[in-house]
Chain A
């Protein structure tokens, strides 16, 4: 604890925090509270627009939800899909970050610019462009691969694979840039020493870089988990709202469809609450990891 911190008067930090707390309290905490509330009520369009009174359903919505086999299917798909996205994004991002440190300025700039371009592309346009690239009639991919008019969105796994490609494309740049910045912060002598000892690239990564980059890796992992678990636009746009017979639904899209397409706001809210709880559990693991490293928040 520093001298200044001790000197600080009790109220100053709260003064600095006030705007953030007001905004978050009003526009995040309160709506989340409402979300939790709605998930315990009978709340459809008729209640919303005042046609019928709201009524308390207790855990009724959750019972309905947990009794619906589709929910479990969607939950499983979400977890597996998010995990695949996170792993692929991290692997590609780290590999390219290491690559960036191995090349001279021109190729580095080219890769960096291309990555920033992918990062800057709005999710909705990125998704549309990827669908177009893989379009059975007009897309270049099928032409190059000689697949004729093979439809990528028809099969469950090929549709998920297509979405995964887009997600990795637009989210690896964050990992790459961050890890690259982290590697540059590692003293060159350390890496040089390892290299002179004749260690292989993979070994240098495993035994020297990865441990030093650990805090960074934990940050990018948790961010990727948060983002990929909540994936919405890509699935919504690329599989046209969840795919054939709902085969490509993930929780966030499922909640949206329940709430807005079918006006079952309470079921949609219950799904939202379930998502929040799962992500909370992930945070616990994350904080554990931070503590094991002796990191201070």
Chain B
């Protein structure tokens, strides 16, 4: 048998299949909407939160109000798991048939989704919407790309320092006023109570690490003329990275366990009583309340470098956006206004503790619930957003920053080398995104 010839044939066929790349191009989707129907079913995807029932009630009320004005429209709400959202939403962009009309999305994804051609430009409707005037500028920024608006802010999320009042009292500690005090307090707790992490930190907890970079005067990236360049390897940013990574170690949070942790892990550790302090969001409040530490904790803004300063927090939060492929654009925009309106946001705060995006609604919320005060204080001190470049979504999802932190805390690279590599990867992503 002439084996070689017989093997060569299929092998060559395969290679050829790859090389003759001209015959027919791979597929793309046409995402532009064909029509704007005024009746029919609106499909909505919202995130499934931990303990989703109260959110569901608020949403149902808003939908009822919407149905009262639009008798011909049906609304079908699906709560999608946060873990698989990215893939689901991308799939929706790829298959307009399966796509919903309205989605909830994380505000760091805005630029990426816009570049993907997934979100509809609603600048006009947003401008004409009376309630939108009270939107906090940072929140408005989070739905804007290149001066155009691609949705409505749904709520803002900001993080502050949770600490155990009982532990602090026992050890005679005071809430830290500066970063140095924070580190000292963390190590003191760990030393006195080795079963606790002093301050629970995570190598994959980017949003918990960002305030350290910003507080030291560093930036993630700098913009000039619409293009972004990474600044993660600047001396100031390196100082912040050093401060954050110095918290990984046997004297606070052992690298063997903490390098892998993400934001949720640190909050879970705190809620289950395994940490003296943690950096958690206003949205973590419910989870902490449900944990073992209920009644034994308090929250203060995360301190900055100088005593009395507040470290700039990451301005997180979610938005609602209409899909470009929606065949019910007008209806979808109306529903978006209903769901992201002042009334619904106020109710959502009562139900879930999500901070409203309207300054006036937020103020009245703070009066009702004193626990949000440190978060509002943090916001007022100036929260920062992630770079508004489509490249950011890629940097985020390819874990550039977690990889950097993990490389440092596991001793694989020093701060300079790791941040240099991260900067290179970030610039590649910014460059590719144009």
**Could you say which residues of chain B place their CB within 8 Å of the CB of A188?**
none
A154 and B93 contact, Cβ closer than 8 Å, known pairs A37-B18, A40-B21: no
CB <8 Å contact, A244 and B1: no
Which chain A residues (23-37) contact chain B, with CB distance < 8 Å?
29, 32-37
CB <8 Å contact, A51 and B21: no
Q: Which of A40, A45, A151, A291 contacts B18 (CB 8 A)?
A: A40
Looking at A99-107, A120-128, A204-212, A260-268, the stretch in contact with chain B turns out to be: A260-268
In the A-B complex, the 3 residue pairs with the smallest Cβ-Cβ separation, listed nearest first, are A36-B18, A51-B117, A49-B93
**Could you say which residues of chain A place their CB within 8 Å of the CB of B407?**
245
Asked if B3 is an interface residue, CB under 8 A from chain A, the answer is: yes
A-binding residues in B (CB < 8 A): 1, 3, 7, 11, 14, 17-19, 21, 25-26, 28-31, 86-87, 90, 93-94, 112, 115-118, 203, 255-257, 259-260, 390, 393-394, 397-399, 402-403, 406-407, 410, 412, 432
**Could you say which residues of chain B place their CB within 8 Å of the CB of A288?**
3
Asked if A276 is an interface residue, CB under 8 A from chain B, the answer is: yes
Q: What 18 additional pairs, Cβ within 8 angstroms, besides A151-B256, A245-B403?
A: A32-B14, A34-B26, A35-B18, A36-B21, A37-B26, A44-B432, A49-B90, A50-B29, A51-B116, A52-B117, A154-B257, A244-B410, A245-B402, A246-B403, A260-B87, A261-B398, A262-B398, A296-B1
**Could you say which residues of chain B place their CB within 8 Å of the CB of A252?**
none
**Could you say which residues of chain B place their CB within 8 Å of the CB of A150?**
256
A50 and B31 contact, Cβ closer than 8 Å, known pairs A36-B18, A56-B21: yes
CB <8 Å contact, A37 and B397: no
**Could you say which residues of chain A place their CB within 8 Å of the CB of B93?**
45, 48-49
Most buried by B among A40, A151, A245: A245
Asked if A257 is an interface residue, CB under 8 A from chain B, the answer is: yes
**Could you say which residues of chain B place their CB within 8 Å of the CB of A145?**
none
CB <8 Å contact, B29 and A154: no
In the bound complex, CA of A154 to CA of B260 (Å):
8
CB <8 Å contact, A49 and B94: yes
**Could you say which residues of chain B place their CB within 8 Å of the CB of A35?**
18
Q: Which of B11, B26, B390 contacts A38 (CB 8 A)?
A: B26
Which chain A residues (109-135) contact chain B, with CB distance < 8 Å?
none
Which chain A residues (263-286) contact chain B, with CB distance < 8 Å?
263-264, 273, 276, 280, 283-284
A54 and B31 contact, Cβ closer than 8 Å, known pairs A45-B116, A49-B94, A49-B118: no
Nearest residue (CB) in B for A39 is B18
A273 and B29 contact, Cβ closer than 8 Å, known pairs A49-B118, A245-B403, A287-B7: no
CB <8 Å contact, B256 and A154: yes
Asked if A47 is an interface residue, CB under 8 A from chain B, the answer is: yes
CB <8 Å contact, B256 and A51: no
Most buried by A among B21, B26, B397: B26
**Could you say which residues of chain B place their CB within 8 Å of the CB of A53?**
28
Total number of A residues with any Cβ neighbor in B under 8 Å: 50
**Could you say which residues of chain B place their CB within 8 Å of the CB of A56?**
21
CB <8 Å contact, A49 and B116: yes
A-B contact pairs, 21 of them (CB 8 A): A32-B14, A34-B26, A43-B26, A46-B115, A46-B390, A49-B28, A49-B31, A49-B94, A49-B118, A50-B28, A51-B31, A52-B115, A150-B256, A153-B260, A154-B410, A244-B406, A262-B394, A263-B90, A280-B11, A287-B7, A288-B3
CB <8 Å contact, B1 and A51: no
**Could you say which residues of chain B place their CB within 8 Å of the CB of A37?**
18, 21, 25-26
Asked if A149 is an interface residue, CB under 8 A from chain B, the answer is: yes
In the bound complex, CA of A261 to CA of B84 (Å):
11
Task: Say how far A177's CB is from chain B's closest CB, in angstroms.
Answer: 30
B-binding residues in A (CB < 8 A): 29, 32-41, 43-54, 56, 136, 149-151, 153-154, 240, 244-246, 257-258, 260-264, 273, 276, 280, 283-284, 287-288, 291, 296
CB <8 Å contact, A48 and B29: yes
Nearest residue (CB) in B for A152 is B256
In the bound complex, CA of A276 to CA of B410 (Å):
34
**Could you say which residues of chain B place their CB within 8 Å of the CB of A257?**
398
In the bound complex, CA of A149 to CA of B255 (Å):
12
Task: Say how far A235's CB is from chain B's closest CB, in angstroms.
Answer: 15
Task: Say how far B264's CB is from chain A's closest CB, in angstroms.
Answer: 13
Task: Say how far A26's CB is from chain B's closest CB, in angstroms.
Answer: 14
In the bound complex, CA of A288 to CA of B116 (Å):
48
Nearest residue (CB) in B for A260 is B87
CB <8 Å contact, B398 and A149: no
CB <8 Å contact, B87 and A50: no
Q: Which of B3, B30, B412 contacts A291 (CB 8 A)?
A: B3
In the bound complex, CA of A257 to CA of B403 (Å):
14
In the bound complex, CA of A149 to CA of B258 (Å):
12
In the bound complex, CA of A45 to CA of B159 (Å):
31
**Could you say which residues of chain B place their CB within 8 Å of the CB of A264?**
394
Task: Say how far B97's CB is from chain A's closest CB, in angstroms.
Answer: 13
CB <8 Å contact, B28 and A47: yes
A244 and B259 contact, Cβ closer than 8 Å, known pairs A33-B18, A45-B93, A276-B14: yes
CB <8 Å contact, A136 and B257: yes
**Could you say which residues of chain A place their CB within 8 Å of the CB of B256?**
150-151, 154
**Could you say which residues of chain A place their CB within 8 Å of the CB of B393?**
263
In the bound complex, CA of A39 to CA of B146 (Å):
31
Q: Which of A36, A276, A284 contacts B7 (CB 8 A)?
A: A284
In the bound complex, CA of A101 to CA of B259 (Å):
48
A245 and B412 contact, Cβ closer than 8 Å, known pairs A49-B94, A291-B3: yes
CB <8 Å contact, A240 and B26: no
In the bound complex, CA of A111 to CA of B112 (Å):
54
Nearest residue (CB) in B for A29 is B17
Q: Which of A44, A244, A296 contacts B260 (CB 8 A)?
A: A244
Q: Which of A41, A240, A258, A284 contacts B21 (CB 8 A)?
A: A41
Q: Which of B3, B17, B30, B203 contacts A33 (CB 8 A)?
A: B17
**Could you say which residues of chain A place their CB within 8 Å of the CB of B86?**
261
A54 and B26 contact, Cβ closer than 8 Å, known pairs A39-B18, A244-B259, A287-B3: yes
In the bound complex, CA of A166 to CA of B184 (Å):
42
In the bound complex, CA of A47 to CA of B398 (Å):
18
Task: Say how far B83's CB is from chain A's closest CB, in angstroms.
Answer: 11
**Could you say which residues of chain B place their CB within 8 Å of the CB of A291?**
1, 3
**Could you say which residues of chain B place their CB within 8 Å of the CB of A246?**
399, 403
Q: Which of A245, A261, A283 contacts B397 (CB 8 A)?
A: A261
In the bound complex, CA of A56 to CA of B19 (Å):
12
Task: Say how far A132's CB is from chain B's closest CB, in angstroms.
Answer: 16
